[in-house]
Amino acid sequence: EIVLTQSPATLSLSPGERATLSCRASQSVSNYLAWYQQKPGQAPRLLIYDASNRAAGIPARFSGSGSGTDFTLTISSLEPEDFAVYSCQQRRIWPPTFGQGTRLEIK
């Protein structure tokens, strides 16, 4: 199965700063990659699918890029509600797999 490696494990930034999160796949997943946001005590929420498409209701400050094995989630200017755990997921190769997550914390 495909292993997704996210980096960094923890990212400490301040509101208003730009966040860049990475997800690397153990083999090519084409553009079949998604990003989820999870806040403490809540279920994950789909942010980005097909590497770069924002899900319904997701603010424009969230963007995704990449293809093949290297992907990036960018949050252009952090809002207080953006501090959470972000996980990537691939569905190119069955079974679908997730990365271990990046914790975005307030500096």
Residues 21-50 touching another protein, rule: CB under 8 A, are: 32, 34, 36, 42-46, 49
Decide: is 55 part of the binding site for another protein (CB under 8 A): yes
Q: How far is the CB of 98 from another protein (least distance, A)?
A: 4
Task: Encode burial over 24-50: b for 16+ CB neighbours within 10 A, e otherwise.
Answer: bbeeebebbbbbbbeeeeeebeebbbe
- What whole-number distance in Å separates Cα of residue 95 and Cα of residue 9? 23
- What whole-number distance in Å separates Cα of residue 1 and Cα of residue 73? 23
Q: How far is the CB of 16 from another protein (least distance, A)?
A: 29
Residues 77-106 touching another protein, rule: CB under 8 A, are: 87, 89, 91-92, 94-101
State the burial class of residue 104 (Cβ atoms within 10 Å of its Cβ: 0-12, 13-18, 19+).
buried
- Whichever of 45 and 61 has its CB closer to another protein, that residue is 45
Q: How far is the CB of 74 from another protein (least distance, A)?
A: 19
Query: Which residues of the shown chain bind another protein in the complex (CB under 8 A)?
Result: 32, 34, 36, 42-46, 49, 55, 87, 89, 91-92, 94-101
